[in-house]
Amino acid sequence: MFKNVIVRRPCKAMVEGITSAPELGKPDYELALKQHDNYIEALKKCGVEVTVLEADERYPDSCFVEDPAVITRNCAIITNPGAASRNGEKNEIIGAVKKFFPEDKIEYIKDPGTLEGGDVMMVGDHFYVGRSARTNEEGIKQFIAILEKHGLSGSEVPLEKVLHLKTGVNYIENNNMLVSGEFIDKPEFAKYNKIVIPEEEAYAANCIWVNGTVIVPEGYPAVEKAVKDAGYDVLLVDTSEYRKLDGGLSCLSLRF
- Comparison of 107 and 116: residue with beta carbon closer to ligand CIR: 116
Our finding on whether 164 is near ligand CIR (CB under 6 A) is yes
Q: How far apart are the first and last CA of the chain?
A: 8
- Comparison of 83 and 144: residue with beta carbon closer to ligand CIR: 83
Is 164 an annotated catalytic residue?
A: yes
Among 2, 5, 9, 17, binds ligand CIR (CB under 6 A): 17
Among 93, 120, 147, 251, binds ligand CIR (CB under 6 A): 251
- Of these residues, 11, 46, 75, 251, which one is catalytic? 251
Residues in CB range of 123: below 8 A, 6 or more apart: 171
| Cβ-contact 246, 19 below 8 angstroms | yes
Helices and strands per DSSP (H, E), number in the chain:
6, 15
Our finding on whether 130 is near ligand CIR (CB under 6 A) is no
- Comparison of 83 and 196: residue with beta carbon closer to ligand CIR: 83
- Comparison of 83 and 236: residue with beta carbon closer to ligand CIR: 83
Residues in CB range of 247: below 8 A, 6 or more apart: 17, 61, 63, 64, 239
Size of the site for ligand CIR (CB under 6 A): 17
Please give the residues from 67 up to 96 whose contact with ligand CIR meets the rule CB under 6 A: 67, 83, 86
* Residue of 40, 71, 34, 70 whose CA lies nearest to 53: 40
Residues in CB range of 153: below 8 A, 6 or more apart: 125, 126, 127, 144, 147
Please give the residues from 89 up to 128 whose contact with ligand CIR meets the rule CB under 6 A: 118
Among 64, 143, 209, 220, binds ligand CIR (CB under 6 A): 64
Among 4, 13, 16, 18, binds ligand CIR (CB under 6 A): 18
* Residue of 189, 179, 129 whose CA lies nearest to 153: 129
| Cβ-contact 72, 255 below 8 angstroms | no
Residue type, 40: I
* Residue of 8, 69, 9, 48 whose CA lies nearest to 209: 48
Among 2, 36, 43, 61, binds ligand CIR (CB under 6 A): 61
Our finding on whether 217 is near ligand CIR (CB under 6 A) is no
Our finding on whether 245 is near ligand CIR (CB under 6 A) is yes
Strands 120-123 and 106-108: unpaired
- Comparison of 81 and 193: residue with beta carbon closer to ligand CIR: 81
- Comparison of 83 and 234: residue with beta carbon closer to ligand CIR: 83
- Of these residues, 11, 46, 63, 164, which one is catalytic? 164
Looking from the CA of 72 toward its CB, the CA atoms found within 13 Å total 30
Our finding on whether 202 is near ligand CIR (CB under 6 A) is no
What residues make contact with ligand CIR under the rule CB under 6 A? 17-19, 61, 64, 66-67, 83, 86, 118, 164, 166-167, 245-247, 251
Active-site amino acid positions: 164, 251
